Amino acid sequence: MAIDFHWRLPTHGEPSTHRNREPYRGDWYFGDGQPGGPGLSSGADGFNYIDYLGEIARAAEISGFQGGLIPSFPSTDEPWTVSSFLARQTRTFRFMIAFQPGFLDPLTAARMAATLQRATGGRALFNVITGGGGPAQLWWGDSVPHDDRYTRTSEFLDVLRGVWRGGPFSYDGKFYQVADAGLAEPLSHEDFPEIYFSGSSDAALASASRHADYYLSWLEPFDQLREKFARVKERTERLGRKVKCAVRVDVIARATEEEAWAEVRKGFERLAPAAIARFGERRGVGDSVGASRQGANRPQTINGYRDLIIEPNVWSGFNLLRGGQTNGIVGSYEQVAERLDELVGLGADAFILASTPHLEEAYRVGEEVLPLVRGPR
């Protein structure tokens, strides 16, 4: 199959099964179910949460996923470090390292990535994110305006590619200046990681058209996604390049559609009314165009979980239950595969999928859904 599938690793913790009072808080619930308890940080058998991540990565590898996204948020572990551990736990699993240019200089990033490539036989990927502004961006100590952040990202990737070739490479930009820089051998001979690039604004699409191997979007209403993919491909072709497209989407897949929606209903009915009301009022935080696009497609008044169905098998309340993106796919194994195939028809060449709990669902989705996706026709 010509479609790449990746799984998301929960470096922010698994959402607890008891989240009904605090729907935006994540914690770990394997072992005895208590954060910091046995089986988590100091179990008698030495098993801890990083071992759990290793089990998820191996489950994804066994179940047909090419690799996995290692997210980067204020609430997550550091993805470069996690990747180094997982490299020894897997054989073919590719590590999609999420990071924001600007918090790491491009020479250090090049050495780290090339070293990881050398150590793993070329299994590193990049998920380049530029940040959504607002309080989350200030957490990183970053107050650079929206469009300037994308300028910084483009310059970072210019320098990263330039020094990767071994140099001498010089660059004089607004954010980065280097003189006669370059990776030493043998690091300079390693394959440059493929870049998955996120962002929905015009500034993001302009930067993606220059640098992305895969343009990555959250799930949106299918017509909107078709238009977004067309825009970035048109921009890229003007530069004499080609870009593939990818979709990041959570799924709830069960043997029947009724069972899948029952999972949604069960989670929704545990939520506090105040949390549902706040959710209806949310229209994005900071200056993230992608977050605003997600929020614009859900109703302000929510009386039941069915009010959040925005298309067949697409539910816009996922981050009420587990954090992360808003829209996801719900249905039988066949229906989820059909919706993924529709996205392939819109131009998707790759997917980052997720469901919770991540370990069990990696097996379920890999065994029951992926074989049903027909791919390009």
CATH number where 366 lies: 3.20.20.30
Name the residue among 156, 116, 131 with its Cα closest to residue 72.
131
| CB 354 within 8 Å of CB 251 | yes
Per DSSP, the residues of 93-142 read -EEEEEE-TTSS-HHHHHHHHHHHHHHHTS-EEEEE-----HHHHHHTT-
Range 109-141 burial, b when 16+ CB lie within 10 A, else e: bbebbbebbeebeebbbbbbbbbbbeebbeeee
Across 152-156, 161-165, 216-220, 295-299, least confident range: 295-299
Whether 176 shows a pLDDT value over 60: the answer reads yes
Is residue 86 a part of any domain in this protein?
yes
Find the domain containing 367 and state its range.
4-372
Is residue 232 a part of any domain in this protein?
yes
More confident residue, 77 or 20: 77
Q: Name every residue whose Cβ is closer than 8 Å to that of residue 104 and which is 6 or more positions away in sequence.
A: none
Angle between helices 79-87 and 49-62 (to 10 degrees): 60
Q: Which tokens in the block code for residue 135? A: 């309080």
What is the DSSP code (8-state) at residue 212? -
Return the percentage of the chain with pLDDT > 90, whole number.
68
The beta strand positions in the chain, using DSSP E, are 4-8, 67-70, 94-99, 124-128, 169-172, 177-181, 194-198, 214-218, 244-254, 309-311, 314-315, 328-332, 348-354
* Res 288: pLDDT: 58
* Res 279: pLDDT: 84
Could you give the CA distance from residue 142 to residue 145 in angstroms, rounded to a whole number?
9
**Average confidence (pLDDT) over 112-132:** 94
- Residue 54's H or E segment, with its range, is helix 49-62
**pLDDT band at 266; cut points 50, 70, 90:** very high
What is the DSSP code (8-state) at residue 193? P
**pLDDT band at 287; cut points 50, 70, 90:** low
Domain count across the chain: 1
Is residue 377 a part of any domain in this protein?
no
Is residue 270 a part of any domain in this protein?
yes
* Res 35: pLDDT: 39
Name the residue among 251, 199, 222, 234 with its Cα closest to residue 348.
222
Is residue 282 a part of any domain in this protein?
yes
Whether 336 shows a pLDDT value over 90: the answer reads yes
CA 17 to mean position of chain CA atoms: 22
Is residue 85 a part of any domain in this protein?
yes
287 in helix, strand or coil? coil
More confident residue, 72 or 285: 72
Burial of 153 from C-beta contacts in 10 A (0-12 / 13-18 / 19+): buried
Maximum Cα–Cα distance for the chain, whole Å? Answer: 62
Q: Name every residue whose Cβ is closer than 8 Å to that of residue 177 and which is 6 or more positions away in sequence.
A: 171
Whether 132 shows a pLDDT value over 80: the answer reads no
Name the pTM for this structure.
0.88
Q: pLDDT tens digit string along 337-364?
A: 999 999 999 999 999 999 999 999 999 9
Is residue 196 a part of any domain in this protein?
yes
